[in-house]
Amino acid sequence: MQPLPAAADTDQDYFRHWLETFAGYVRDVDYRSARPLFHPDVIAFGTHRDVIASLEQWVNSQWDNVWPRTTDFEFDLPSTRILSSDDNTMATVIAPWNSTGYDQNNKPFERPGRATLVFHKHAPLWVCVHSHMSLNRGIAQQSFANRPVKNR
């Protein structure tokens, strides 16, 4: 069997930058800036919904329930794996992440998780068409921070 189809170095760099950019928008609770990274009909899975069939539904059900209630979101770039189709039109990013959650007494706790992101190339850019972000097992799903949304 052939090894997994790793993305070319230039695409590796592109997706690592994409992850850093997206993580910054999550930390800033900046929905407006994050939206262009995703296809309008993105299909997502998340903590608060099993299947989400559009970016707008994802923002309203998942982003609203997570981004303002957590801090310090970042991807573990050294542990990230990036795969690409042979024709370089589809890519998959597998990335662990971490954030800080807050209990009802505002005491912080670590919120590690993992993400699978699928991209389609709309030359010259890549757009995310599927996202599955989930917490690691045993991590409290609720966080009680209450930060404002910077840009809806």
Classify the C-alpha dihedral 94-148-40-21 as positive or negative: negative
Kindly give, in sequence order, each residue whose CB lies less than 8 Å from that of residue 149, ignoring residues fewer than 6 positions away: 29, 30, 31, 64, 67, 68
Average pLDDT over residues 46-72: 88
Average pLDDT over residues 116-124: 92
Residue 1 included in any domain: no
Residue 101 included in any domain: yes
Classify the C-alpha dihedral 132-38-70-53 as positive or negative: negative
Q: Under a CB-based contact definition with an 8 Å cutoff, are residues 100 and 71 in contact? A: yes
What is the number of domains present in the chain? 1
Higher pLDDT pick, 47 / 115: 115
Residue 73 included in any domain: yes
Task: Tell me, rounded to whole angstroms, the distance of Cα 12 from its chain centroid.
Answer: 16
Residue 116 included in any domain: yes
What is the rounded distance in angstroms from the CA atom of residue 135 to the CA atom of residue 114? 6
Residue 88 included in any domain: yes
pLDDT at 47 (0 to 100)? 65
Q: Cα-flanking dihedrals φ and ψ of residue 147, to 5°?
A: -95, 150
Q: How confident is the model at residue 144 (pLDDT cuts 50, 70, 90)?
A: very high
Q: Under a CB-based contact definition with an 8 Å cutoff, are residues 48 and 63 in contact? A: no
70: domain CATH number? 3.10.450.50
Token couple for 13: 């760099």
Residue 2 included in any domain: no
Residue 152 included in any domain: no
Its pTM stands at 0.94
What is the rounded distance in angstroms from the CA atom of residue 127 to the CA atom of residue 130? 9
pLDDT at 49 (0 to 100)? 61
What's the chain's length in residues?
Answer: 152
Model pLDDT for residues 16-28, shown as the tens digit of each residue = 999 999 999 999 9
Task: Say whether pLDDT at 9 is over 60.
Answer: yes
Owning domain of residue 78: 9-135
Residue 144 included in any domain: no
